[in-house]
Structure 1
């Protein structure tokens, strides 16, 4: 009877937390490190200019206590929204002054990280990125605005790494329960 209970517990917990078994977790750290390196190398020193859009620290705090699957979706959607900032659809917005092969590599890494993780993002999260995009559009893609976007992106990538670390911790704890 105890064996069947353990088997049932294993299958139920595995079904309830598919994100913990996600192969993507094995590669995220590597891609994330390269993405951070590339965002640093895209331009000169990071700007000290204050962003007109406040950074959503509270949203990140809320996500740290969310279910693993919700955190994975949040990370995926954040990376997708970040890449959208660097691929302006508005023709009146000029490309960043540091548009190079590195920026293409940066976008490829962002896209690679988002592949495989689908779904929804909270409306507040989308609104933040929409405001950043409007900030860029208002200046026509001025170099100063692009530097601001680069700095905000670095802040997001660092916060996403913290979320990822909490997922890794959950995955390790889960494996410990099943051994």
Structure 2
């Protein structure tokens, strides 16, 4: 009996390790939620009466090229960014002229994406790491990459929060524009993962 269970587990592990990062959720729900979040940000812009032509907070674009060598790194990066965006939009944004329901809906979509991508990534990496990677590589992925991304994203968020010191409506509009640009890039990043795994 124990041998049958072992061979079943081995078969499932080998079968899933050979499969790509594609799944029904990534193909349909992720795209749907991503489009929904971008539409909500656009709705927030349509409801806004603020302008921010002179201010600029740019995302450290070198993060896109430094660690995003494979699909797993892209997913880790996407999860980290979605978590940071969620934290940012939990700040006091009452001075912005956005509808509260739109912001709450956007926040719930971002949290939903973050949670489900985390679950998807943990399942995939647990199978992948258990079969192919040594302990050293798993430690590298889980610690070094997470720390590096966290430091860069934290610095970026500190710059954003610096602009939000007075919680002005103009500052929130600047943040909305930056987040929209960033979510578009993340959508392209995940699309590249999905097309590479066709």
TM bucket normalised to smaller? 0.7 to 0.9
Question: Following superposition, which runs of at least 4 residues in structure 1 exceed 6 angstroms of deviation?
Answer: none
1:83 aligns with 2:109: no
| C-alpha spacing 1:74/1:83, structure 2 compared with 1 (3 Å) | same
- Write the mapping of 1:46-125 to structure 2, written as runs, cut at 5 A: 47-51=52-56, 53-63=57-67, 65-88=68-91, 94-118=94-118, 120=146, 122=149, 123-125=151-153
Determine the structure 1 residue equivalent to 2:168.
142
The RMSD of aligned alpha carbons is 2.8
Distance, in Å, in 1 between the alignment partners of 2:186 and 2:15 is 25
Q: Is the 8 A contact 1:75 1:160 kept in 2?
A: yes
Q: Is the 8 A contact 1:135 1:145 kept in 2?
A: yes
Equivalenced residues, count: 156
Q: Tell me, which stretches of 5 or more residues in structure 1 are unaligned? A: 1-7, 173-179
| C-alpha spacing 1:77/1:24, structure 2 compared with 1 (3 Å) | farther
Distance, in Å, in 2 between the alignment partners of 1:125 and 1:35 is 20
Distance, in Å, in 1 between the alignment partners of 2:15 and 2:60 is 32
Distance, in Å, in 1 between the alignment partners of 2:155 and 2:18 is 30
Q: Is the 8 A contact 1:32 1:161 kept in 2?
A: yes
Q: Tell me, which stretches of 5 or more residues in structure 2 are unaligned? A: 1-9, 119-141
Question: Alignment partner for residue 159 of structure 1, among 176, 185, 198?
Answer: 185
